[in-house]
Amino acid sequence: MQAWDVIVIGAGAAGLMCAAEAGKRGRRVLVLDHGKRIGRKILMSGGGRCNFTNYQVEPKAFLCANPHFVKSALARYTQWDFIALVDKHRIAFHEKTLGQLFCDDSAQNIVDMLVKECEQAGVSIRLRAEIMEVDRLGEGFMVATHGEAYSCHSLVVATGGLSMPKIGASPFGYRLAEQFGLRVLPTRAGLVPFTLQPEDKASLEPLAGVSLPVVAESEDGTRFAENLLFTHRGLSGPAVLQISSYWQPGERVCFELLPAGRLAEGVADSPNQELKTWLGRQLPKRLVEALLTREGLVNKPLKQYTPRELAAIEERLTAWSLKPGGTEGYRTAEVTLGGVDTHELSSKTMMATKVPNLYFVGEVMDVTGWLGGYNFQWAWSSGWCAGQVV
């Protein structure tokens, strides 16, 4: 049996960061992954340019049943630390919007950077490694793959969440946590498009391609000001992806299509204009047509509406409410909500408090960031913290 100090399962964002850090401390580190390629999710992220972090990382951008959990790691390895690493490797990047940082060239730059960091730290990486069994061995662990068995002092589980099963996502980390008696919180798809209820399809499917800025609001009062995109399958765009993480099946979502008070301004400024014409200057025309029909709005000059009618129209436009049929699920979700309960882990080291020398890093645990580079920052921060102690 080959002996290692540290075995990291998962050659993704968090696993590679952790492995490189541990290697730099002189630990003999082996990374095992069942995939054919390193960092496959990194390669597809950010439309191929990897939104690797955000200028405005703050704990409120993370969903977790244990809200203070993320604070320590995010403070110890910050977005500025990761930006310094990116600078060290001379990777050109730019801010796209809302503090989101993307590679100018390709997400491959980030994978190459992590691989180089691992190589320089003497880390070994084995791909196509199917893990058959993990067991306690003294104070450490035994990991058996299809062909070989390894022992290690510290075992780091960095197998990510369930989204995108086609590129290697698996429930391995959850099962391993359960094997060692750790609680796993129910999982569901996050940062994911909504599908439509059958009765909404006829009126909303023809809007495919329409996009507009909105404020999306979930029933718990969370709000995101971003773009809404109608698609052939339902609703997408950053506003929908963000709010999907706060949505529970059966709930409604509200969209502010027009800011409150805008209609009153219209009545004052353009009293002779018909509602449809006036709305066509505020919103995409195809959406206006659909809204008038769907919401049963009578079209006439603005001055002819009674205050009560205007209030009803204003209500529809400032809080256009819809009950999604569901989400597209893990097939297209960017992240998985839920996972290994962080109450079971040290927020400083990511070690399972009940199982010495067993660590969980990245998305496998119940920490989910907003859209915008936050999920990678969590992978870097949690991976780095474990890398200092494994």
Chain positions contacting ligand FAD, by CB under 6 A? 9-15, 32-35, 40-41, 44-46, 50-51, 131, 158-160, 163-164, 168, 170, 172, 334-335, 362-364, 373-376, 379
* Shortest distance, position 50 Cβ to ligand FAD, whole Å: 6
- Closest-by-Cβ residue to ligand FAD is 12
Alpha-carbon 196 to chain mean position: 22
- Specify the DSSP element, H or E, that contains 119: helix 108-120
- Indicate the residue among 160 and 338 with the shorter CB distance to ligand FAD: 160
- Indicate the residue among 168 and 338 with the shorter CB distance to ligand FAD: 168
* Shortest distance, position 273 Cβ to ligand FAD, whole Å: 42
Beta strand 184-190 with 29-32: parallel, antiparallel or unpaired? unpaired
Place of tokens 């509200």: 254
* Shortest distance, position 327 Cβ to ligand FAD, whole Å: 14
Reference 35, options 113, 119, 127, 102; nearest CA is 127
Report phi then psi at 302, rounded to 5.
-55, -35
The whole-angstrom separation of Cα 67 and Cα 340 is: 14
- Indicate the residue among 23 and 46 with the shorter CB distance to ligand FAD: 46
Using DSSP, how many helices (H) and how many strands (E) does the chain show?
13, 21
- Indicate the residue among 50 and 121 with the shorter CB distance to ligand FAD: 50
Question: What's at 174, amino acid-wise?
Answer: Y
DSSP-assigned states of every residue in 339-368: EE-GGGB-TTT-BBTTSTTEEE-GGGBS-E
The whole-angstrom separation of Cα 55 and Cα 87 is: 15
- Indicate the residue among 55 and 264 with the shorter CB distance to ligand FAD: 55
* Shortest distance, position 294 Cβ to ligand FAD, whole Å: 32
- Indicate the residue among 104 and 219 with the shorter CB distance to ligand FAD: 104
* Shortest distance, position 347 Cβ to ligand FAD, whole Å: 17
* Shortest distance, position 343 Cβ to ligand FAD, whole Å: 19
Place of tokens 């023809």: 206
Q: Is the dihedral of CA 7, 11, 15, 18 positive or negative?
A: positive
Question: What's at 307, amino acid-wise?
Answer: P
For 284: left if phi > 0, alpha if psi spans -120 to 50, otherwise beta; the answer is: beta
- Indicate the residue among 128 and 285 with the shorter CB distance to ligand FAD: 128
- Alpha-helical regions (H) of 31-171: 40-44, 69-76, 79-88, 108-120
Place of tokens 């909500």: 337
* Shortest distance, position 359 Cβ to ligand FAD, whole Å: 12
* Shortest distance, position 211 Cβ to ligand FAD, whole Å: 19
* Shortest distance, position 103 Cβ to ligand FAD, whole Å: 10
Q: Where are the strands (E) in 177-268, listed by range? A: 184-190, 194-195, 211-218, 223-230, 234-236, 253-256
- Indicate the residue among 32 and 317 with the shorter CB distance to ligand FAD: 32
Reference 303, options 281, 266, 272; nearest CA is 272
